[in-house]
Amino acid sequence: MDSFKIKSDQIYLDHLNQLYVIQSQDHLILKFDDQFQIKKESSSSFYAEPLFMSVVDPMKIILFIPSFSNVQILNSDLTLLSDEYYQEFNSESAITHYSNQSLCYFANGKITLKNKIDNRLLESENIYYNRSKELKLTEIKSNGKDIYLLIPGVGLWHFNEFLKLEHFINDSTIEHIDLYENKLFISKQEQIEILNLNLKSPLQKIKFSFPILSFSVNKNYLLLADKNKIFRYKIF
């Protein structure tokens, strides 16, 4: 395990072991290499808002700003490639890469696959749920087949490649999720749970000595953040 001191609101880890840190108070997104050396930084007044990132493709990073229904695509230097307004998006929406040709997002109570080339849409049936009083960022993750949707304070949904609901976990304590190959990781306060893709009983539970503010996982590492430090564990 290694660590370094830094304040963060959210962290993301790509498949190249590069780390992305959102610092909302300072309006910054920071990018670090695998030695925790800063490579790039980007500043914008928009970064004071709640943000959601997808770093599945480090060359085309998705940055979603829910309060403005705005989806930006950034390159590896955190430079803006495109900027699109999604009318149907709101504070409960989320978006990620599904494949090289498709985006996957949650909006208006549905999961949608959008073809990047011809804009064709494939939609799920409506998802009905009671909204949480405490608004937290919705999270969506995909491995190019399975899709996982977390609405904090409500629960976790699993959809297949045909956008049919496979499983639902009614658990308001799940705070964050991440996906690597055939394992789904979830965080609950000071604990990480590792599940199979069918969301059956946890394969493993890992207890830590601090509340997990944010986390991210790839083939090499599990990264955890509290308010003032990021911890990196080699787990594979």
Please state the domain count of the chain. 1
Per-residue pLDDT at 133: 63
| Per-residue pLDDT tens over the stretch 84-102 | 999 999 989 999 999 989 9
* Region label for 76, one of left (φ > 0), alpha (ψ between -120 and 50) or beta (otherwise): alpha
| Per-residue pLDDT tens over the stretch 141-175 | 999 999 999 999 999 999 999 999 999 999 999 99
Instruction: For 109-136, give one letter per residue: b (16+ CB within 10 A) or e.
Output: eebbbbeeeeeeeeebeebeeeeeeeeb
Domain residues for the domain of 12 are: 2-234
Which pTM was predicted?
A: 0.94
In the structure encoding, which two tokens stand for residue 1, read together?
A: 């395990």
Instruction: Judge whether 123 and 139 are in contact, CB under 8 Å.
Output: no
The domain that holds 19 is classified in CATH as 2.120.10.30
